[in-house]
Amino acid sequence: MSTVNQAYEDAKGNIISALKGCTKKEKVAYYDTWAKTYDEDVLAVDYRAPSLAANLISSHFSGDRETAVVLDLACGTGLVAKQMKKHGFRKFVGVDGSEAMLKLAKETGLYQELKQSMLGEDPLPVQQDSCDVVMIVGAMSAYTKVPVSLVREMCKALKPGGYICISTRDAPGNKEFKAALEYELKQDEAEGLITCVEFNHVKEYELGVLEEEPGYISGLVYLYKKL
């Protein structure tokens, strides 16, 4: 087996373990053990969500990027902040449930603040109307236990005119969650909280790891603006 194939097989096992159904606390405990090989594993499955989300925000953001506050939810090891830095953003606040992931994020030197919090259970540990961009990349899906109700919390954290960016898998096991997420976004839009800026359906989002996901799976990246 080639080195590339072996890396994919190793990553596949870890990612399947992360996707398995269990409680939110059990998931966080798994991410604590997975943190040390997380970056290598997502690279092995060509996980493109961080760069896709950063590119989308960059194409619309017209403010001062050096002073804009970016709230990176489920920040993990800091992959999203690394991509956003390429586009000129410099101020990052990271939130994650995993202490081990936050430790690695701290080592990047990109974050001004890092906070441990269970998304969807605890209130977001930031002030209202304090952020220019709020992102949650790859962590809202049927597998993660992060509820769609978090979108309203994200809205509260944003300054008027700020951006929300969300990505999720477009795979068989995520269909119901995708529908619930899009319903929540439409409800929030109908209530005048946010407006859709752009929605991207990406055919090659990442390599699938489940039996029903041969080859690349597609993904969805949503960008909304707070009114």
In this structure, is residue 22 part of a structural domain?
no
Distances from the Cα of 51 to the Cα of 39, 84, 168, 200, 201, angstroms: 14, 8, 13, 13, 14
Contacts of residue 128, defined as CB under 8 A and 6 or more positions apart, other chains included, come to 156, 157
In this structure, is residue 5 part of a structural domain?
no
State residue 56's pLDDT score. Answer: 98
Task: Please report, for the domain that includes residue 111, its CATH number.
Answer: 3.40.50.150
Helix (H) or strand (E) holding 154: helix 150-157
Tens of each residue's pLDDT in the chain, 227 residues: 577 789 999 999 999 999 887 888 899 999 999 999 999 999 999 999 999 999 999 999 999 999 999 999 999 999 999 999 999 999 999 999 999 999 999 999 999 999 999 999 889 999 999 999 999 999 999 988 899 999 999 999 999 999 999 999 999 999 999 999 999 999 999 999 999 999 999 999 999 999 899 999 999 999 999 99
Residue type, 166: I
State residue 1's pLDDT score. Answer: 57
In this structure, is residue 94 part of a structural domain?
yes
Residues in the chain: 227
Task: Check: CB of residue 71 under 8 Å from CB of residue 134.
Answer: yes
State residue 122's pLDDT score. Answer: 87
Number of domains in the chain: 1
What's the half-sphere exposure (Cβ side, CA atoms, 13 Å) at 183? 9
SS3 of 121-148: the string is CECCCCCCCCEEEEEEECCCCCCCCCCC
In this structure, is residue 24 part of a structural domain?
no
State residue 22's pLDDT score. Answer: 84
State residue 184's pLDDT score. Answer: 98
In this structure, is residue 11 part of a structural domain?
no
Task: Check: CB of residue 128 under 8 Å from CB of residue 156.
Answer: yes
Q: What is the pTM of this model?
A: 0.96
In this structure, is residue 35 part of a structural domain?
no
State residue 19's pLDDT score. Answer: 86
In this structure, is residue 8 part of a structural domain?
no
In this structure, is residue 16 part of a structural domain?
no
Q: 71: domain range?
A: 46-226
State residue 23's pLDDT score. Answer: 86
